[in-house]
Amino acid sequence: MVRIFAAIALILSLASCQTDSSGGGGEATVSTQNADDTRVAKYLFGAVTTPSPGSSAPYGFYSAGCQAGAQALPETGPTWQAMRLSRNRNWGQPVLVDYLQDLSAFAATQPGWAGLYVGDMSQPRGGPMASGHASHQIGLDADVWMLPPQRLNLTREERESISSIQTDRTDGAYTNSSWTPQHEAILREAASDPRVNRIFIFAGAKVEMCANATGDRSWLHKIRPWYGHNFHFHVRLNCPQGARYCEGQDPIPPGDGCADAQQWVNNILNPPPPDPNAEPVEPRGPVTMADLPGQCLDVLGSD
Nearest residue by C-beta to Zn ion?
Answer: 234
User: Hey, which residues does 77 pair with through a beta bridge?
Assistant: 80
Tell which one of 143, 247, 256, 291 touches Zn ion (CB under 5 A).
143
Q: How far apart are CA 47 and CA 219, in angstroms?
A: 38
Cβ-based nearer residue to Zn ion, 119 or 294: 119
**Window of 9-17, 26-34, 109-117, 190-198 that interacts with Zn ion by CB under 5 A:** 9-17
The pattern of x and - marking residues 33 through 72 that bind Zn ion according to CB under 5 A reads ----------------------------------------
Compute the least distance from the CB of residue 234 to Zn ion, in Å: 4
H helices of the chain, where? Answer: 2-11, 41-46, 94-107, 156-161, 181-192, 203-212, 258-269, 295-301
CB of 302 to Zn ion, least distance (A): 26
The one segment of 25-33, 139-147, 205-213, 267-275 that binds Zn ion by CB under 5 A: 139-147
Length of the chain: 303
d(CA 163, CA 146): 10
Told to check if 268 binds Zn ion by CB under 5 A, we report no
Binding-site size for Zn ion (CB under 5 A) equals: 3
Residues near 130 by beta carbon (within 8 Å), at least 6 away in sequence? 42, 43, 46
According to CB under 5 A, which one of 17, 64, 116, 258 is a site residue for Zn ion?
17
Contact 200, 22 (CB under 8 A): no
Q: Tell me which stretch binds Zn ion (CB under 5 A): 49-57, 136-144, 188-196, 219-227.
A: 136-144
At 80, is the secondary structure helix, strand, or coil?
strand
Shortest Cβ 96–Zn ion spacing (Å): 12
| Nearer CB in complex with Zn ion: 30/136 | 136
Exposure b/e, 155-167, CB count within 10 A at least 16 = b = eeeebeeeebeeb
Q: Which stretch binds Zn ion (CB under 5 A): 16-24, 181-189, 278-286, 295-303?
A: 16-24
Name which of 125 and 295 has its Cβ closer to Zn ion.
125
Backbone angles phi, psi at 186, to 5 degrees: -70, -40
Helix and strand numbers, DSSP H then E, in the chain: 8, 13
Contacts to Zn ion from residues 216-255, by CB under 5 A:
234
Binding residues for Zn ion (CB under 5 A): 17, 143, 234
